[in-house]
Homo-oligomer: A and B are copies of this chain.
Amino acid sequence: MVLDAKVVAFAGGVGGAKLVYGLSKSLSPEHFTIIGNVADDLDLFGLHISPDLDTVMYTLAGLANPAAGWGITDETWQTVEMLRHYGEEVWFNLGDRDFATHILRTQWLKQGHSLTTVTARLLERLGVHCTLLPVTDDPLRTMVDTQEYGTLPFQEYFVRYQWQPTALNVWFYGMVEAQATTKVVTAIREADVIVFCPSNPVLSIAPLLAVPGVREALVERHGVCVAVSPFVGGKALKGPAEKLMRELKLDISATGLIDYYEGLLDGLVIDKLDQEQAVGSKIPILVTETVMKSEDDKVRLAEEVLRWVGSRKS
């Protein structure tokens, strides 16, 4: 059994949070660490917003809006309405309850606490017992070079322009100076199992791997590292992953993903609809149902992945 194993999940936003939810139901919280993406963080109205961390946090706290996948359930929009009444353009979704998170985070950061400390405190206040680690406490921002608008900060590309511009390149502002936190490096080194969640490889997993210290820790790992493909039937379930990867001339097949992760993977989980891609793979592949619609789906996939990794280790 791997349920007593130390598990580290690399997760971005909505897709990643689904598997994180499943894993959180299968693991004891003290053995479960999520490494979260901060490269799509943004500053709006002087508030520090961490959309991916919040999506994971709200999911673990049972607050997530199940329909949207992001934000808080039963949300209202009065603050944003008033900002618009003041003539402000608000192109990012900010609910009234969500504002409380951004206000507290910003206040605590201004008081000199690190994003790691602030995130731990927010989770503690919400009664979440597993660990969510921002990959770095340093500024890191995804930038998308587009054909139509030049270089766009990630949320402008993603939310304002609804990922419709043609991407020429994706890069991470601050990635040379950034450092993975000691907690992140230690978690990766000590993990028995590392799971790359079915998040967008380029926009959610790549900015984690790009932070100096992460790839090195993965290379030195003693644990097993597997990825769950975000693609089903050769397509992304939602979001820009497929469109973006095609524009960047990246192959979204199993082989393509294994190559994209440059030798880091010990195994890959793909959907039944893509089972022919398992033929002749360089690494072991688990073919299963990867679409997570219900909470049961999330738990089932998490347990299946953990069992598969456990059977391969022993």
List the B side residues contacting A88 at CB < 8 Å.
104
In contact, B126 and A100 (Cβ under 8 angstroms): no
Q: Tell me, rounded to whole Å, the shortest Cβ–Cβ distance linking A132 to chain B.
A: 15
Q: Which residues of chain A from 53 to 87 have any CB-CB distance to chain B below 8 Å in the complex?
A: 72, 75-76, 78-83, 85-87
Q: Tell me, rounded to whole Å, the shortest Cβ–Cβ distance linking A281 to chain B.
A: 46
| CB contact between A96 and one of B45, B79, B106, B122 (< 8 Å): that residue | B79
A168 within 8 A of B: no
| Cα distance, A96 to B45, chains bound together (Å) | 15
In contact, B110 and A83 (Cβ under 8 angstroms): no
The 0/1 profile, CB within 8 Å of B marked 1, for residues 111-125 of chain A is 000000000001001
A164 within 8 A of B: no
In contact, A97 and B81 (Cβ under 8 angstroms): yes
Q: Tell me, rounded to whole Å, the shortest Cβ–Cβ distance linking A206 to chain B.
A: 31
| Cα distance, A99 to B46, chains bound together (Å) | 13
A103 within 8 A of B: yes
List the B side residues contacting A83 at CB < 8 Å.
100, 103-104
The 0/1 profile, CB within 8 Å of B marked 1, for residues 92-111 of chain A is 00011111110110110010
Would A86 and B125 be within 8 Å (CB), given that A79-B100, A97-B78, A100-B79 are in contact? yes
| Cα distance, A20 to B97, chains bound together (Å) | 34
| Cα distance, A47 to B95, chains bound together (Å) | 18
| Cα distance, A126 to B82, chains bound together (Å) | 10
List the B side residues contacting A96 at CB < 8 Å.
76, 78-79, 82, 96, 99
In contact, B107 and A45 (Cβ under 8 angstroms): yes
Q: Tell me, rounded to whole Å, the shortest Cβ–Cβ distance linking A92 to chain B.
A: 13
In contact, A87 and B125 (Cβ under 8 angstroms): yes
| CB contact between A79 and one of B103, B107, B122, B126 (< 8 Å): that residue | B103
| CB contact between A97 and one of B72, B82, B122, B126 (< 8 Å): that residue | B82
In contact, A110 and B46 (Cβ under 8 angstroms): yes
Question: What 7 additional pairs, Cβ within 8 angstroms, besides A47-B103, A75-B78?
Answer: A72-B82, A78-B96, A79-B96, A79-B103, A83-B103, A85-B100, A85-B126
Interface residues of A (CB under 8 A from B): 45-47, 72, 75-76, 78-83, 85-88, 95-101, 103-104, 106-107, 110, 122, 125-126
What are 19 contact pairs spanning A and B, CB under 8 A?
Answer: A45-B107, A47-B103, A75-B78, A76-B76, A78-B78, A78-B95, A78-B97, A79-B100, A81-B97, A82-B97, A82-B98, A82-B99, A82-B101, A83-B100, A83-B103, A86-B100, A86-B125, A88-B104, A99-B99
